[in-house]
Structure 1
Amino acid sequence: MAEYVLVAGAWLGSWAWDEVVPELRAAGHGAHPLTLSGLADKQGVPARLQTHVQDIVDEVERHDLRDVVLVGHSYSGIPVGQAAERIGDRLARVVFVDSNVPADGESFVSSWSDDGRAMVESSIAEHEGFWAPLTAADYEGQGLTDGQIARIVGGSTPHPGATLTEPAVLARPLGELPATYVKCLLDGDEPNGDVAKLLTSEHWRLVEMDTGHWPMFSQPRELARILLAAAAA
C-alpha cells in the first residue's frame, strides 16, 4: 500500500484533490491531500518557501507514513521536490504534475521571462505580499468546463509571495530521486528545459495527458490512474 501526499499548486488547497482522493483510496492506498500554510483553510498562517517544505515533511512524519508518493502540482513541485529528499527512505516516488521543479539556489520565478517575473512581483507588491489568483478568463483553453473553472476561481485564495521568490535548497541532484513527470499537453507540447534535462536520468519517467494544467479538475480519474501506476513503477 502506498501513501499519497497530494499538494496542489498556487492559490489552491487540499480541496483541489476531492475527485482524485476517492480513486486512490478505492484502490487500497492512503491519500493525504495537504493545504500549505497561508492558503485556503490555512489563510493567515505566515509562510515562506521553507515553511511549505516543512508542511510536507511534517505531514509525512506526523502520520508516520512509509512508501510515500509525494505529488506536487504546478508551483508545489518546488517544495515537494525539496521535501522528497528530506524524508529519506520513507519516499517511494515523486510525481510532478505539470509542475515547476526546484533547482538549488533558484526560486519559482527564476526561470520565468523578465516580463513574467515582473508581472508576479508587481502582483505581490500590489496585494500586500500575495500573488493574486487568476481570473476565469485565464483558465480558458485548458480543457475545463465552465463549472470546473467556477469551482477553481471560487476556491482560490491569494498565494504567499515569499514562497515564489525565495531560493530552493537541495542537498543532492534532483535527478537521483525516483520520479514521474506528468506533462499536460494543452499547457505546452514539451517539458521545459530544466525538466527535459532531468528526464534524461534513468530514475525519471515521462507521462503525457491530453488535457490542461489543472488535471485534478479536468481529468481526475485519468490522473488517479497515472498516480496509481507511478506507485507501482
Structure 2
Amino acid sequence: MTRSSSTFVLVPGAWQAGWAWQPVARRLRAAGHQAITLTLPGLADGDSTTGLHLSDTVDHVVSEIDKRGLEQVTLVAHSWGGYAVTAAAHQLIGRVAKVIYYNAVVPKRGVPLTGENEDYSDMIEAAVAASPDDTVSVVIEQVPTLLPDQSAQAQQLFFELLVPQPGAYFTEAIDVPDITALDIPAAYVLSEDDRALARPGAEFAARLGLAPVMVPGGHQSMLTHPDEVAQALLAA
C-alpha cells in the first residue's frame, strides 16, 4: 500500500453480512487501500441469534480492529450499522481517522431505531412478537424499497441472501453522544433514490452539521453502483 493509503472497515446494515460490501471493498483495494468487510454477530448464515444485544455488535467491531492491530481506520457504516460504528468510535479514540455514514442512521444517544420512526416501530415490534426467536425478517414485498432500480430477479436474489435480524438490535439504544463529541472527521454519503431510511438521509447528515455527498442508486447502491460508492468513500 502507498504511504497515503487508508484502512477501511466496512460495517453492513440490517439483515446483511460482509458480502454486501465486497464489490466496494475490491475497488478500494484496487485503489491501494486495505478494506475489511465485517459480519456482525448473528448475521452470518446459520448464526445463532439467541441472547444477542446491540452492545455485542459494538464489541465485535472493536475486537476485530484490536485483533488486527489496525490504526488510523476509516469506519464506514451502512444503514442500521450506524449504531455499532458510532459506539465503537467512542471506544477506539486515537485509532479512528474518519467515520463515514453511507445511507446510515446517525443515532441519537438513548434513541433506538424504533424511536426514529413510528411506522418502523410498529413493524418491528409486531415482527418480534410474531417470531419464535425475537428476530425481525424482511418480507419479499419490502425488497423493492431497498433495490428500487433493479429487476424482480435481482430483488429475489437479494432477498435470498438476507437473514433474520436480532430484534434487540432495533429496540436497544447506544449510550454515547454522536461523533461530533470526539472531534473525528466525518462524512455522509447518500444515494439519490434511498427509500429505506427511518428518516431522510439529509436529516441524519444534518445531525453532524454535514450536507450529504450524493451517489446514484437506492439504499443498496454499494451493490448496484459500487464504482460510484467506492469513489465517494475515497473522496470523503
Q: Using structure 2 for the length normalisation, give the TM-score.
A: 0.87
Which residue, out of 131, 140, 144, partners 1:139?
Answer: 144
Structure-2 separation of matches of 1:195 and 1:35: 25
SS at match of 1:94: strand
Counterparts of 1:38-49 in structure 2, within 5 Å, are 38-41=42-45, 43-45=47-49, 46-49=51-54
Checking the alignment, whether the CA contact within 8 Å between 1:40 and 1:155 is kept in structure 2 is no
RMSD value over aligned CA atoms?
2.0
Q: Quote the offset at 1:194 in angstroms.
A: 4.3
Q: Is 2:201 aligned against 1:191?
A: yes
Which residue, out of 155, 158, 170, partners 1:152?
Answer: 158
Checking the alignment, whether the CA contact within 8 Å between 1:35 and 1:41 is kept in structure 2 is no
Q: Deviations over 1:135-170 (max 9, x none)?
A: 155325622344432332111000000111011121
SS at match of 2:98: strand
Q: How many corresponding residue pairs?
A: 224
In the alignment, structure 1 segments of 5+ residues that lack a partner are: none
Structure-1 separation of matches of 2:104 and 2:202: 10
Which residue, out of 222, 225, 230, partners 1:224?
Answer: 230
Match of 1:182 in 2: 189
State the percentage of identical aligned residues: 32
Seen in structure 2, the aligned counterparts of structure 1 residues 137 and 42 have a Cα distance that, compared at 3 Å, is closer
Checking the alignment, whether the CA contact within 8 Å between 2:140 and 2:156 is kept in structure 1 is no
Q: Using structure 1 for the length normalisation, give the TM-score.
A: 0.88
Match of 2:122 in 1: 118
Checking the alignment, whether the CA contact within 8 Å between 1:136 and 1:153 is kept in structure 2 is no
SS at match of 2:75: strand
Which residue, out of 158, 171, 178, partners 1:165?
Answer: 171
Q: Quote the offset at 1:62 in angstroms.
A: 0.8
Seen in structure 2, the aligned counterparts of structure 1 residues 205 and 193 have a Cα distance that, compared at 3 Å, is closer
Seen in structure 2, the aligned counterparts of structure 1 residues 112 and 82 have a Cα distance that, compared at 3 Å, is same
Letter in structure 1 aligned against 2:229:
L
Q: Quote the offset at 1:19 in angstroms.
A: 1.1
Structure-2 separation of matches of 1:146 and 1:163: 29
SS at match of 2:114: coil
Q: Is 2:97 aligned against 1:87?
A: no
Q: Is 2:132 aligned against 1:104?
A: no
Moved more, 53-62 or 39-48: 39-48
Structure-1 separation of matches of 2:88 and 2:201: 22
Structure-1 separation of matches of 2:121 and 2:171: 9
Q: Quote the offset at 1:37 in angstroms.
A: 0.3
Letter in structure 1 aligned against 2:59:
Q
Seen in structure 2, the aligned counterparts of structure 1 residues 136 and 122 have a Cα distance that, compared at 3 Å, is closer
